[in-house]
Each structure stands twice: as structure tokens, then as C-alpha cells.
A and B are shown apart, each in its own frame.
Chain A
Amino acid sequence: MTDLIDGTHRLRAVGLSKRFGGLIAVTGFSFDLAAGEILGIIGPNGAGKTTTFNLIAGALVPNSGELWLGQTSLVGLKPYQIAELGIIRTFQHNMPFETLSLIDNVMVGAHRRIRGSLWAVLGLTQETREREAHYRERARELIDFVGLGEFVDTKVDNLSFGQGRLLEVARALAGEPEVILFDEPAAGLTLSETEQLAQVIRRISSDGISVLLIEHDMQFLLPLADRIVVLDQGQKIADGSAAEIQANQLVVEAYLGKTENIVVAGDA
């Protein structure tokens, strides 16, 4: 057994494997994520990126391997329990609560911080009301932070696709997470929206929140990620800085083999 808890690593996977019937989606995948680190996971389609995400978020249960948040094992926990521990995910497609206002969308994100006892449900204690007020204030700040301040009390259907994505970021932040999982956050965004998103993610990580990113858009990922892990056919084939990854022969082959080109340094 390796030493799992050394204090500097917040999220750690050891030998993570997942099979669907005869298909091996992820095998023997290990990585760790430090506090405030931005880790990118890249790889060709079908490499097991989304499966990895679903394993961490509790949507899938691994066939073998370990998953730790600090000293807490995540294997076998339900998605809401994992969120409760402070690992919040976003989805590839925007998933807003359509009938709620922006502020209420973000307040749902703070669920794990606000929810309480029976009396708290009825809002009859001073403490609940204060907590509610505190997080409502914070939700407003977060909506300002992602640049949607003018829409705060309107419904989500007024938002463009990119704005919807930023709302999801604000919602994910509302619960004061320790780790955020982003599933292709830049997909479908315009260039300026992508830049804004990159800025927001940098600031998130400078606040000490760890960020795990799946991304196809290399122009977005390479300058942003502190470290990159490359998956191919369910296996980790490389792990290192953006420069190291781009120089890695295996990585280039994996991508060229799939006709999907990695953007070579200089563009970024």
C-alpha cells in the first residue's frame, strides 16, 4: 500500500479501473490533485475521460481502485454524498434549473452549506435565517464574479449558452467546494467567453480550490493547466507540464492515430 495521505494531495486516485461488460473504459488510472492545482485530463474520444469523471462524482462505481478526498474514501458513495464532501461537478451540457432565477440557481449550489434540521426547514430559527442571508449575499457576489450581475433576479432562459456555462460555474462555487470537476467547460463558447472562463478558473484555483478539467480545446487548456494527464484507451500514457506533454512522442502518436491533432506549442 502506498502512503495515501501525505497532506499535500487533496484528491487522489489509485489504480482506478472500470469495465462495461467486456469493454475496458479505464484501467489502472492513478493521479493526484493538490490544493489549488489545475489538472487537465486529455485524450482522444473514448479514452475514458468522462468515465473517470463519473467515477469521481459517484455516478459510476469503479470495479477496482481507490479514490480519496483527504482521508475519506469516495468509493461507493452516492453522487449527493460526494457533493456533500465538497467535490462539485459540472456537466458537458448546461443543466440549469430552468424555472428558478439565477440567484436561486446559485443558492441550490449552496445546498450543502445551508441545509439543516427540521426547524431549520421551516426557517424558524434565527441561525437559519442568518445563514440563508449570508449565502444569498455570497450568491450575488458569485454572480457578479462571473459577470452576470445584471441578470441576477431574472430566469435562466434569458441567458446565452456561454452565460449559462458561467452560471454553472457560479453555482458550483456556491457550495464552497474543495474540488471542482469541469467537463469540457469551453465547448461551444465564443473566443471572448473562453477567455473569461479561463480567467474565472485561474481565480478559483488561486483561492485554493482544486480544479480537474476535461478539455478538447488545447488552446484553452495548455496555458491554463498546471499539469496535464493524458489518457489513451483507458490508460494513462503521460503526466506532466504542458511543455512536457507536447514533447511526448506517445501523446503525439495517440492523437495522430485518431486523426485528432494536438495543437503544438507556439499557438498558445
Chain B
Amino acid sequence: MSRVWLSWLLGIVAIVALSLILEGYVGNLYRKLLLTVALCLSFNYLFGISGQLAFSHIAFYGIGAYGVVILTYKVGLPLPLAIIGAVISCGLLSFIVAVPATRLKGFYLALATLAFAQLFNVLLLQGGDITGGPEGISGFSAKGYFGVPSSGGAYTVVIAGILIFTFAILLLLDRSWFGRACRAIRDNEAAAEAMGVNIFRTKVAAFVVTSTLSGIAGISYAFADNYINPTVFTLEPLFLLLFMIIVGGTGRHAGAILGAVVLFLAPEMLEAWIGRHYLLGFGVVMVLVILFLPSGLIGLVDRFQDRLAAHGDRQ
């Protein structure tokens, strides 16, 4: 027990320490990595654990980001109120989407939420002065709240905090009866219902919680660059999230983290060799993983560990 807690603690310390150490380009990259991991974790709960393939996850990321910026710099609310407002907007909107959409099966849910995400993007592009249209909104900053500057390592710690918060919530949910119910529904809806699981309510709750977590990540993203624009919230980044989860290992937190880290860093590392064709590589890797590695990279890690353990037993 204590060893488990110690390793969690060490992990948190490492994440926070890196936030303070890394600067400049690498520091910025690290922030984006933290946000990507947070998004992957919540999307993995929605798709991998709860079995809902929803293409609206990035849209809620955008609703969080645009929500907080519009509420502060267009409406004029103080930042804490704007944050609360943006979180509530994500929660309410995701509820409004989830109530009808979760009744759809399989890929039909994906397409309904895709339509919602596209509508959101149309609104961003056509929002005139409110959303800044295709150029987005820039030139804002959040200074002086709670004594936390909105730039540099200190703000990276805030983003790290949001990642840790996201992970903690999802982990607690997953290990409770709620998480079990989510997985049961994913595996066999009729059997879960026969055990007294309220399918509709469970699906809606999972959708709302994960979408709101995505929105919270979006709020912190807005002040990471102090610039938001519609291209960040299109279908492309959603496909990336999906690829990360499938490549890492669908339905497992460790898989989501692994997939996010590997696929996020790969283009950076390999840019010298493959330039902007990394997306082609992603497509190939995704298809290969689905064909030959259904449990993802984390499945490979498991096998490796098992072999190590077996080796250790023999000695």
C-alpha cells in the first residue's frame, strides 16, 4: 500500500518539477503534452471505458476555452466567475447533447456528435466580434489572480494540477461501482440492465463528466498561449486523440497516457526525417495496431513485464 502511494507521489513531484524546470520552446511543448494527456485520459474514459465514441470531445475543449475568454474579455466578468461560468456551460451543454445523443448506438453517436462539433466550429467562424471569426481572439491575459502568474513555470504547474485533478477524478470513478457499471454497459448493455444498471443515466453521467473535464482543460489552454482560434477545435485533433488511445491501449489509463506521450512526441522527434508526413505514419500505425495489437502498446508492455516476472521466478 505505502509503496503504491509513494510511486504516485513521486510521479506528481516529477510532473510538477518538470513544469518548473522546462522553459522556452520545450516548456511550451511540455504544457501542450500535459493538456494532451489530460484530454486523452478523459476521452479514454468516454470512449474506452464507457464505450461511447463521441466526436464532440474537442468541441467541449473549445467551449471551455472560448467560454472563459468570452466571459472575461467580452462580457467583463472577473476571472474566477468566468471560470465557474465556463465550467457550468460545458456541463450544461454536454448534458443537452448527451440526453438525446446517448440513445444512439455505435457509430451513429459518433456522427451525431460530429455534427454537433461541426456546428460549433461554424459558430466559431461566424461569431463575428464575439468569437473573433477565423482569426480567433488574442491579446488577452490573466494576471494577478490567486497570486498565480499566467505565464512561465508557475502556470505550467497550474496545468499540471489540472491534469492531476482529471486523472484523480477518472481513477476514483473507474474504481467505483460507477466505473464498473460503465464497463459493464460497454461489454453488454442488456446484461448490465438486467443487473439493475440504469443505462441511460450512467451513459449521460459519463458523457457529462468527461466532457466537462475536457472543458476544464480547455479553460487552462486558453491562458497557455493567450490566443485561441477555431482550427484548434476541429475534427483533426479529435482524430489524433482517438489514434492516441487506440495505439496506447483502449480502456486503460496507462494506455491513454502512453499513447498520448508517444504520439505527441513522435512528430517532434521524427520531424527531421519525415517532415509533415507524420500524419501518414499515424494512419499506418493506427491500422497496424488495430490489426495486430488489439490491446495497444500497453499490451506489449504487459507482455514484457510478464516475461520479466516469469524470468525472475525461474531464478
A97-B184 Cα distance, complex, nearest whole Å: 6
Please give me the residue from chain B that is nearest to A83 by CB atom: B196
Residue contact A108 to B192, C-beta cutoff 8 Å: yes
List of A residues within 8 angstroms of B191 by Cβ: 91, 95-97
Residue contact B172 to A79, C-beta cutoff 8 Å: no
- The interface stretch among B115-123, B175-183, B211-219, B239-247 is B175-183
Q: Please give the distance in Å from B209's CB to the nearest CB on chain A.
A: 9
List of A residues within 8 angstroms of B197 by Cβ: 80, 108, 111
Q: Beta-carbon contacts of B236-266 to A below 8 Å, as 1s and 0s?
A: 0000000000000001000000000000000
List of A residues within 8 angstroms of B193 by Cβ: 78-80, 83
Which of B173, B181, B186, B251 is within 8 Å of A111, CB to CB? B181
A57-B191 Cα distance, complex, nearest whole Å: 12
Residue contact B177 to A114, C-beta cutoff 8 Å: yes
Residue contact A121 to B195, C-beta cutoff 8 Å: no
A100-B181 Cα distance, complex, nearest whole Å: 11
A175 and B195 in contact, given A95-B188, A98-B188, A122-B169 (Cβ under 8 angstroms): yes
Residue contact A111 to B194, C-beta cutoff 8 Å: no
Decide if A123 is an interface residue (CB 8 Å cutoff).
Answer: yes
Decide if B198 is an interface residue (CB 8 Å cutoff).
Answer: yes
List of A residues within 8 angstroms of B175 by Cβ: 123
List of A residues within 8 angstroms of B176 by Cβ: 120-123, 128, 132
Residue contact A175 to B187, C-beta cutoff 8 Å: no
Residue contact B184 to A100, C-beta cutoff 8 Å: yes
Which of B177, B187, B190, B251 is within 8 Å of A132, CB to CB? B177
A91 and B172 in contact, given A100-B183, A108-B195, A111-B177 (Cβ under 8 angstroms): no
Residue contact A99 to B187, C-beta cutoff 8 Å: yes
List of A residues within 8 angstroms of B224 by Cβ: none
A111 and B187 in contact, given A122-B172, A123-B175 (Cβ under 8 angstroms): no
List of B residues within 8 angstroms of A121 by Cβ: 172-173, 176-178
Please give me the residue from chain B that is nearest to A86 by CB atom: B196
Residue contact A99 to B183, C-beta cutoff 8 Å: yes
Q: How extensive is the interface on chain A, given as a class?
A: 20 to 34
Residue contact B183 to A111, C-beta cutoff 8 Å: no
List of B residues within 8 angstroms of A80 by Cβ: 193-194, 196-199
Decide if A107 is an interface residue (CB 8 Å cutoff).
Answer: yes
A224-B175 Cα distance, complex, nearest whole Å: 40
List of B residues within 8 angstroms of A96 by Cβ: 187-188, 191
Please give me the residue from chain A that is nearest to B183 by CB atom: A100
Decide if A251 is an interface residue (CB 8 Å cutoff).
Answer: no
Q: Please give the distance in Å from A165's CB to the nearest CB on chain B.
A: 13
Q: Please give the distance in Å from A76's CB to the nearest CB on chain B.
A: 16
A57-B190 Cα distance, complex, nearest whole Å: 11
Q: Please give the distance in Å from B7's CB to the nearest CB on chain A.
A: 20
Q: Beta-carbon contacts of A157-181 to B below 8 Å, as 1s and 0s?
A: 0000000000000010001000000
List of B residues within 8 angstroms of A104 by Cβ: 180, 183
A99-B48 Cα distance, complex, nearest whole Å: 11
List of B residues within 8 angstroms of A88 by Cβ: 194-196
Q: Please give the distance in Å from B175's CB to the nearest CB on chain A.
A: 6
Residue contact B169 to A97, C-beta cutoff 8 Å: no
Please give me the residue from chain A that is nearest to B177 by CB atom: A114
Interface centre among A78, A91, A111, A122 (most CB of B within 10 A): A111
Q: Please give the distance in Å from A86's CB to the nearest CB on chain B.
A: 9
Please give me the residue from chain A that is nearest to B181 by CB atom: A111
Decide if A84 is an interface residue (CB 8 Å cutoff).
Answer: yes
Residue contact B177 to A100, C-beta cutoff 8 Å: no
Decide if A1 is an interface residue (CB 8 Å cutoff).
Answer: no
Q: Please give the distance in Å from B191's CB to the nearest CB on chain A.
A: 4
List of A residues within 8 angstroms of B251 by Cβ: 99
Q: Please give the distance in Å from A129's CB to the nearest CB on chain B.
A: 10
A79-B188 Cα distance, complex, nearest whole Å: 14
A175-B195 Cα distance, complex, nearest whole Å: 8
Q: Please give the distance in Å from A92's CB to the nearest CB on chain B.
A: 12
Residue numbers of B with Cβ under 8 A of A are: 169, 172-173, 175-178, 180-181, 183-184, 186-188, 190-199, 251
> 15 A-B Cβ contacts within 8 A?
A80-B196, A80-B198, A83-B196, A88-B194, A88-B195, A90-B194, A98-B187, A99-B183, A100-B187, A108-B192, A108-B197, A115-B177, A115-B178, A123-B172, A123-B175
Given contacts A96-B187, A100-B180, A132-B176, 11 further A-B contacts (CB under 8 A): A80-B197, A95-B194, A97-B188, A107-B177, A108-B192, A111-B180, A111-B181, A115-B177, A122-B169, A122-B173, A124-B172
Residue numbers of A with Cβ under 8 A of B are: 57, 78-80, 83-84, 88-91, 95-100, 104, 107-109, 111-112, 114-116, 120-124, 128, 132, 171, 175
